[in-house]
A and B are shown apart, each in its own frame.
Chain A
């Protein structure tokens, strides 16, 4: 049987990567080592967070599954940065890590055109630099028009604890032994990365009175744009906050040489994520910090496991016991699963295009940790984009690439393929230069249209969205048209808000720009029947208009550079005077536009100017 698309790996990237082409009508096969580990959450039991929460919204706007699945399975919801401006707010859910995979599996199983197969892919079938299919460990060959690799940490995975190293994936799963060698043979540059996860402890062995309770928000939220939040805010499961102590730090310092990272193993090549360091790292690098905060997070309503966020380590088990017990509230904690570090192979991501198709092998795509990222959300959005692009290519349609000013997804992929990675890449709001545009609240306004066009957003969903857009515009127009005058009554009302009295007439639109005025205040003058999400959107667009416009102008400036395309067949050897480092980088990354070229480190403005003039001269001839 010949498939349109084969997806290798059933993690968060693999789920989206197989759902997208199947939903676009293509025959898709998902191959996974263990069907029960589909959409597994081997690390933190949460979805979303700063920047990542916005990505989940973006995935939903485009027609992906992660947001909906998180809504179904969340046990606590929180809006982060709610005291800051709207541009940085992001949703985070504690998701039930037993129910989440089950629900996702249900969705996959019910998906038309999608088949799931248990198996271990160990080789790729390639002909003349084109992918033809995959070869399983039992020698079986399965053919497809395109293959998406979403192997997560399973490529030559090693679990590291103290001075021991075992070749296995998370949960003792069998890793893929040969696939990365196969990629190497095909010419890919393979890098070794490392990540880690903390202990799980028994729920009932914690002295909660010594910790600080952290509840979910009392406002209900949903990631997805397609349904209203439907849970009881009072039924959320709390997290608990505690801290490391001087004793913890002493234990770690005394045993540093036993940690896999610090001498326990001297053959570690993997580079761990700067943004999520192990507790050893934190204590060595920030030696003068008296304590580090730890969150005790519930993992599931169906289990008694508590996750210690912030305590990732690769110490031997006996030291881990001491460490855990030195923490207030955890004196008698029972460790159910020890922390470990995991080392795995990934490909250097500048070897893939903006579409996530590899440059070396046509129709071969990679997404998720294999591309050097870390995090469920980062993985899922790449899976979605790889799935969409694989499907579009099979259908003979134009590729779908999101710009940095479109979405965090665009930022992430552009960073990966342009800058490469040194350590596992985590998305941060600071990575975006246009975060005022890339907000939680407007993900649908930014992306639904695209989702509709590629065929992942249905007609009914789309019409709902079009209506929302119209309502927003109409409400803004109404506020622009409605003028109030400095009548005594008006001024009396205004001064009790309190806000400055009027001297001249003013539109409600301009009145709303005052920092102290909310839409609520305008109800004195005008009837407002719009849904809260409409009101919120209108309020943000009006209140922050000046800043949003500034950001838009910056984005437009950049867009002009993005639109200056570099021909695919450009010969950088022919361009005189480009610095040799820049030439080498340009050769390696082969940027598609001047805008992208500009972001390559080692390529200086002067090199860009030369490149632009070279291209200009070419045009004239």
Chain B
């Protein structure tokens, strides 16, 4: 019989509650042994109990315990989930306790593996589950569900079909029936535009998928600007809470502060940075360096300027640096007299605000939405890849097509070049589960975080 496995199934350090989960025949028995409360052995399925986890009469934590009996559970086996309230130390302690009482620490992905083994899901669905579990917004959930439904595959399948029909089949027929004069011989000159066309389509999917990933992972947004232009106030206004320390002394915000705002279902991860200025102070310099790096890493830059002050050389440097980025120039402090050379700024990308008077926040949100065509991303019925694994297969397929193009330009025989085209075809197949690779299953299960 299968042994009982246990793991902390929430990411450590995130959230107030963490869950220790057990799956297997002895799951209920084991928890009951370290439990003070109603007898769990007698508990009906799918019931939550309040009680205490104890170690030799010593109370460890006040918890809620869910009892779920086979077969209608995640893994198809008996499952117990302990909702702990304590921090990391307490959660670890509880895990240790269940391990002491006979459970075995689960390998990465083992819960899902058991789910899969017990026929709850197929391989493709197993990938989707991770996304579903990780989904924190309705749109993310829709994306994750989409993978379960297999809707993603139709675009990929069409591409595969195109490669198969227009290129592979043609090459093969030329090889197998060389003397059939009526069948056109596919030449390197003909194949090149076909390949480029297919590559473009693959890149389109990749681009759309990156948008899809943004929905899942959030758009990295940095707030930059000289000290005391109101970056922290802006962050607080966006987040609606006092996260950053707001003072009117220059350079008080040195640490990068993170927060998340959801606009039209898309999370923006907002990062406040230390003011960028030419500073003699060592600490500030580190902050500035970080800020400059942050511009490179950001998908959106909110560049804050003070309405009351003229543009400095530093501002112009930054404007230059962010020229080709997704950006919004925020002209803050409109409650003060305008000294800024507004006519020198790209008007389309400017938003006027007064964080002090709480003006202009809606305009900013509207602009953010506009900038990422959030209306256009079909969050209701997405048909792009959302899973990092799938996206990397797509990238590999594009690389294979590139190699084929390279081979053709080097005048390699077409039947040699075909090996790369076939590879691209196989790689697309991997996304939709049409070709099988030994590594796929190992990769899948090891990629899963502990528990789920």
Partners in one complex: yes
Is A605 part of the contact surface with B, judged by Cβ < 8 Å? yes
Shortest B448–chain A CB gap in Å is: 14
Is B366 part of the contact surface with A, judged by Cβ < 8 Å? no
Does the CB pair B441–A609 fall under 8 Å? yes
User: Considering the chains assembled together, what is the distance between the CA atoms of A554 and B415 in angstroms?
Assistant: 16
Does the CB pair A430–B175 fall under 8 Å? yes
Chain B residues with Cβ below 8 Å from A435 are 415
Is B242 part of the contact surface with A, judged by Cβ < 8 Å? no
Does the CB pair A428–B176 fall under 8 Å? yes
Does the CB pair A605–B440 fall under 8 Å? yes
Is B324 part of the contact surface with A, judged by Cβ < 8 Å? no
Does the CB pair A613–B113 fall under 8 Å? yes
Given contacts A50-B178, A85-B412, A428-B176, contact A547 B419 (CB under 8 A): yes
Does the CB pair B419–A429 fall under 8 Å? no
Shortest B396–chain A CB gap in Å is: 13
B194-234 Cβ-contact flags toward A at 8 Å (1 or 0): 00000000000000000000000000000000000000000
Chain B residues with Cβ below 8 Å from A610 are 116-117, 119
Q: Which of B179-187, B308-316, B345-353 contacts A (4 or more CB under 8 A)?
A: B179-187
Shortest A320–chain B CB gap in Å is: 23
Given contacts A84-B175, A605-B123, contact A436 B414 (CB under 8 A): no
Is B254 part of the contact surface with A, judged by Cβ < 8 Å? no
Is A66 part of the contact surface with B, judged by Cβ < 8 Å? no
Q: Which of B15-23, B291-299, B354-362, B431-439 contacts A (4 or more CB under 8 A)?
A: B431-439
Is B124 part of the contact surface with A, judged by Cβ < 8 Å? yes
Does the CB pair B416–A87 fall under 8 Å? yes
Q: Most chain-A CB neighbours within 10 Å: which of B124, B172, B407? A: B172
User: Considering the chains assembled together, what is the distance between the CA atoms of A326 and B303 in angstroms?
Assistant: 82
User: Considering the chains assembled together, what is the distance between the CA atoms of A430 and B433 in angstroms?
Assistant: 22
Chain B residues with Cβ below 8 Å from A80 are 178-179
Given contacts A291-B182, A429-B175, contact A577 B118 (CB under 8 A): yes
Does the CB pair B433–A606 fall under 8 Å? yes
Is B411 part of the contact surface with A, judged by Cβ < 8 Å? yes
Does the CB pair B176–A51 fall under 8 Å? yes
Is A560 part of the contact surface with B, judged by Cβ < 8 Å? yes
Residues B397-452 near A (CB distance < 8 A): 407, 410-416, 419-420, 422-423, 433-438, 440-441
Does the CB pair A88–B175 fall under 8 Å? yes
Shortest B106–chain A CB gap in Å is: 15
Chain A residues with Cβ below 8 Å from B415 are 81, 84-85, 87-88, 435
Given contacts A577-B117, A605-B436, contact A612 B176 (CB under 8 A): no
User: Considering the chains assembled together, what is the distance between the CA atoms of A81 and B172 in angstroms?
Assistant: 12
Given contacts A88-B175, A429-B175, A561-B438, contact A293 B180 (CB under 8 A): yes
Residues A593-621 near B (CB distance < 8 A): 598, 604-606, 608-610, 612-613
Chain A residues with Cβ below 8 Å from B113 are 613
State which size class the interface on A falls in.
35 or more
Given contacts A289-B182, A429-B175, A551-B419, contact A606 B410 (CB under 8 A): no
Does the CB pair A557–B438 fall under 8 Å? yes
Shortest B262–chain A CB gap in Å is: 35
Chain B residues with Cβ below 8 Å from A50 are 175-178
Is B122 part of the contact surface with A, judged by Cβ < 8 Å? yes
Is A576 part of the contact surface with B, judged by Cβ < 8 Å? yes
Chain A residues with Cβ below 8 Å from B433 are 604-606
Partner of B123, one of A292, A436, A554, A606: A606
User: Considering the chains assembled together, what is the distance between the CA atoms of A608 and B113 in angstroms?
Assistant: 14
Shortest A34–chain B CB gap in Å is: 33
Shortest A257–chain B CB gap in Å is: 27
Q: What number of A-B contacts does a CB cutoff of 8 Å give?
A: 96
Shortest B109–chain A CB gap in Å is: 12
User: Considering the chains assembled together, what is the distance between the CA atoms of A74 and B291 in angstroms?
Assistant: 79
Does the CB pair A547–B178 fall under 8 Å? no
Chain B residues with Cβ below 8 Å from A606 are 122-124, 433
Is A3 part of the contact surface with B, judged by Cβ < 8 Å? no
Shortest A49–chain B CB gap in Å is: 9
Chain A residues with Cβ below 8 Å from B438 are 557, 560-561
Residues A530-581 near B (CB distance < 8 A): 544, 547, 550-551, 554, 557, 560-561, 576-577
Chain A residues with Cβ below 8 Å from B437 are 557
Residues B322-379 near A (CB distance < 8 A): none
A48-87 Cβ-contact flags toward B at 8 Å (1 or 0): 0011000000000000000000000000000011001111
Shortest B10–chain A CB gap in Å is: 26
Shortest B343–chain A CB gap in Å is: 54
Chain A residues with Cβ below 8 Å from B123 are 605-606, 609
Does the CB pair B182–A293 fall under 8 Å? yes
Given contacts A289-B182, A550-B419, A557-B437, contact A430 B119 (CB under 8 A): no
Does the CB pair A81–B117 fall under 8 Å? no
Shortest B190–chain A CB gap in Å is: 15
Shortest A51–chain B CB gap in Å is: 7
Is A515 part of the contact surface with B, judged by Cβ < 8 Å? yes
User: Considering the chains assembled together, what is the distance between the CA atoms of A262 and B119 in angstroms?
Assistant: 48
User: Considering the chains assembled together, what is the distance between the CA atoms of A430 and B117 in angstroms?
Assistant: 36
Chain A residues with Cβ below 8 Å from B175 are 50, 81, 84, 88, 429-430
Q: Most chain-B CB neighbours within 10 Å: which of A51, A86, A291, A609? A: A609
Shortest B142–chain A CB gap in Å is: 24
User: Considering the chains assembled together, what is the distance between the CA atoms of A86 and B416 in angstroms?
Assistant: 9
User: Considering the chains assembled together, what is the distance between the CA atoms of A436 and B407 in angstroms?
Assistant: 15
Does the CB pair A85–B413 fall under 8 Å? yes
Shortest A286–chain B CB gap in Å is: 10
Does the CB pair A436–B410 fall under 8 Å? no
User: Considering the chains assembled together, what is the distance between the CA atoms of A528 and B266 in angstroms?
Assistant: 68
Chain A residues with Cβ below 8 Å from B407 are 547
Does the CB pair B176–A429 fall under 8 Å? yes
B81-123 Cβ-contact flags toward A at 8 Å (1 or 0): 0000000000000000000000000000000010011110011
Residues A413-437 near B (CB distance < 8 A): 428-430, 433, 435-436
Does the CB pair B436–A576 fall under 8 Å? no
Chain B residues with Cβ below 8 Å from A604 are 122, 433
Shortest B137–chain A CB gap in Å is: 29
Residue of B nearest to A426 (CB): B176
Does the CB pair B172–A84 fall under 8 Å? no
Shortest B250–chain A CB gap in Å is: 56
A202-224 Cβ-contact flags toward B at 8 Å (1 or 0): 00000000000000000000000
User: Considering the chains assembled together, what is the distance between the CA atoms of A608 and B422 in angstroms?
Assistant: 22
Does the CB pair B413–A550 fall under 8 Å? no
A-B contact pairs, 11 of them (CB 8 A): A81-B178, A85-B413, A88-B415, A289-B182, A293-B182, A550-B423, A554-B423, A577-B118, A605-B436, A606-B124, A606-B433
Known pairs A561-B438, A613-B116 / 8 extra A-B pairs, C-beta < 8 Å: A81-B415, A84-B413, A87-B416, A576-B119, A598-B436, A605-B434, A605-B440, A609-B123
Q: Which 6 A-B pairs have the closest CB atoms?
A: A85-B413, A577-B119, A606-B122, A430-B172, A605-B436, A606-B123
A: residues with CB less than 8 A from B are 50-51, 80-81, 84-88, 289, 291-293, 295, 428-430, 433, 435-436, 515, 544, 547, 550-551, 554, 557, 560-561, 576-577, 598, 604-606, 608-610, 612-613
B: residues with CB less than 8 A from A are 113, 116-119, 122-124, 172, 174-182, 407, 410-416, 419-420, 422-423, 433-438, 440-441
